[in-house]
A and B are shown apart, each in its own frame.
Chain A
């Protein structure tokens, strides 16, 4: 049953958009154009991102990631991961596949979670954009407050996942 839900939604949605196009149903047309805008902005970033992920998996040695971001890594691991997250482009749809590769190369759970959080709220290009609309003071406070919270919440979440059945579901083989 479950495997029919997704194709079902997709087909119904496609039919709805098509019919809207032909009958000139305005909300349907608008939803269709929303879809296109988003799909295009994603498709611009995704190919390069996935190629870089592929190159990372092939070239970067597991020992290097394990040593710097693994179980025995120090607080310095946060410096590296914030640097990587801070320069990640795109949204969470890029961050998730990157986090999967980091995890498989031996980064510990907390560090991977920190990457995801930081890729959402600690991105440098985004900060510049944010400051131009909300002021430098806002952005500076937000970054200063976020930094300790990212580390605390990641350590907490990482421990919770490590010590439960959630660990077995984390980043399955095909990701």
Chain B
């Protein structure tokens, strides 16, 4: 965060010194882009706030806690796809799951779909990629997340017993 604002501040000052007009134009571009996408952001925030209430940490722990690998990967991919949470919430939760003995393949399935597949962020994605390309990206990413989970499971010996 501090690094981000330091870089932003330094870039802004350098830009101001180099060319005031261009800098002003850059700020206008930034503002315009933000305003255009703000409605989609607010819809996403509404969806996130409701979903986080329905899909709680306890629920995720309960459903993933006693599932075997194959079924667990599927359930984890479902939860990971429909929810959205920042890393500082997600990884501690993954740590809890690991502590409870949940297979690493299942944890990988949850965390990678969480990051790659976004049902809640789709209103935003659709604005940038369009409906069809957005759906296609999510589908491809889901396959990719499952592949990653299976390979991780293989490395941890999740499927041998």
Binding site for B on A (CB under 8 A): 6, 9-10, 13, 27, 30-32, 34-35, 38-39, 41-42, 44-46, 48-55, 57-59, 89, 91-93, 96-97, 99-100, 113, 116-117, 120-121, 126, 129-130, 132-134, 137-138, 141-142, 145-146, 149, 153, 156-157, 160-161, 164-166, 169-172, 174-175
Contacts and interface: CB of A to CB of B under 8 A. Distances in A.
Contact of A175 (B28, B39, B86, B128): B128
A145 to B, nearest CB: 5
A96 B46 contact: no
A106 B116 CA distance: 24
A30 B48 CA distance: 12
Interface of B: 1, 4-5, 7-8, 11-12, 15, 22-23, 25-31, 33-34, 36-37, 39, 41-46, 48-50, 52-53, 84, 86-88, 91-92, 94-95, 98, 104, 107-108, 111-112, 115-116, 118, 121, 124-125, 127-133, 136-137, 140-141, 143-144, 147-148, 151-152, 155
Please report whether the interface of chain A is mostly helix, strand, loop or mixed according to DSSP.
Answer: helix
Given A51-B8, A92-B124, A117-B141, A174 B36 contact: yes
B158 to A, nearest CB: 12
Contact of A59 (B15, B115, B127, B133): B15
Top 3 nearest A-B pairs (CB, nearest first) are: A169-B130, A54-B30, A133-B95
A6 B124 contact: no
Nearest to B24: A58
